[in-house]
Structure 1
Amino acid sequence: MLTLHSTARYLIFFQYAGTKYSGVMRIPADQAGQGVENHLESAVRKLKPVNEVSVSISSRTDSGVHALCNSAHVDIQRRAGKPPLPEQTLVEALNFHLKAEPIRITRAYRVHSDFHARYRAISRTYVYRFASGLRHHTEMPVTERDLCWALRDTRLNINAMQEATALLIGTHDFSTFRALNSETPFKNPVKSLESARLEPGVSFSQRHFHRDIQFWELTFKSRSFLYRQVRRMTGALVAVGQGRLSVSQIQELLEARDSLAFPNNLTAPAHGLFLTQVQYRDADLGRLDTDRII
């Protein structure tokens, strides 16, 4: 007699402080460090599924980069006679096994068996946080440690930064703003930046104590980004604010379409960057009938 196991694919949303991890992706056991994915898969295995566990991450982040909202899909096959885990039960169970780590599952959805977290995403939003008005990086409030880029002795030309930011909006070949890696030759450098804006940031510490420090946020939204594109764009825009680059030079960098044309030492550090949203169509997150996943 054939025994059927109950299998469900879930889309999970999760957040993490990236300081201690070697990025979000799984790190092989024979290499130093661990990625967030290592811990996610370990937590799923502790639910004792029948199938081999593999978490498919939607959005890659580098070492030191944080996420308020990343996503992934995972198949969980339970033993015969056990129904698929309810979504909230899965969230609570995974968080129980992740409690020692700065990683939290925020939501889970049962999705179709052909759903793919990476390819079904319709947009991703990143926020880069930085602060001005510090005489030394040690003046950064403890609540902002590893969560914000401290700009020392810096007065920023915000109007110039906003003008330069607007140049990046739209569809462009962003080759200059991508770092070189093993995937570079195979990635289409043409991306459509739906929005880019510079706004004052909000900080608990600024409100209550560090009132001379001004926090700022650069927000970028696109369906996808190139390797280190956001950190390069941020570094260039901050350089405009500092007077190290002109607004017209941002346009020249775009038109150069050459990664090697990007100035040395301008890439913003990882610790100020947050992935804040991965968006899907409502139809992809609709509830499934229990007899549609077997």
Structure 2
Amino acid sequence: MSANDANRTILVTGVNGQVGFELTRTLQGLGNVVALDRCVLNLADLDQVRRVVREVKPGLIVNPAAYTAVDKAEADTVEAMRLNAETPGVLAEEAKRLGAGLVHYSTDYVFDGTKSGAYIESDAVNPQNVYGKSKLAGEQAIAAAGCAHLIFRTSWVYGTRGKNFLLTMLRLGAERDELSVVSDQFGAPTWSNTIATLSANVLSQAVVGQGDWWQKNSGVYHLTASGATSWHGFAEAIFEFSNFGKKPTVKSITAASYPTPAVRPCNSRMSNDKLFAAFGLTPPTWDAALRLCLAK
């Protein structure tokens, strides 16, 4: 799994988060998974990050941990930048020192959302909020460190744990008869399990790949569910697929009528074509994955 040797220890951060929780399961069999939560690895403490990585000596670092409170980040710039930019940079430096590979997760929010079609990896970035700027800075820090790396940009992440749109809708739907949801922002709701499963599929190829696998494949990839919908469409599908008792009425509103501290892109659609070309993987459609997530 290492970029340069047979070291099969995999260090996973943020294991209590949506994606980290799933990764600790999907990565089984690819190596000795060392999954650390914030009690052992405080990612805001850069000295501790360096110390722990040097103690574990992983051949692969998988970093799904992030500062994800998009609106809060507008007033908490220092902490957002620390966790989303500085920490990934340190992990990348340590990966370079060890000759290890690094897998990191980024976001559709690195784009401004003005493109009419799906974004590809080479499109110009132009984040419109602090969260997006911090995630872009993390991408740039990793590239600058020069380690073997895969950066997966994903979007609209949800799952059955943590804080996300799915769980918010289920909670509010049980409390209210009518909900108002934005219908003029578009993207691909992506199940945390989809992200973890596809990541493991890619890394299984790294395990059996030739010695130059990381050199050939390092870079940025888009990894989202296939297809797209609006937040309004996502909400309606949640209530349809969850066999909700008395479904609330989902009212369509514009983003302008529901202002938030952080500006969000109107178009978050991203193409997975590069992912398929490099690894032969096609993510499931967003609605098919949602059905699986909600299956009892």
TM-score (normalised: structure 1): 0.26
Q: Which has the higher contact order (CA 8 A, sep 6+)?
A: 1
Greater C-alpha radius of gyration: 1
Greater per-residue helix proportion: 2
Greater per-residue strand proportion: 1
TM-score (normalised: structure 2): 0.25
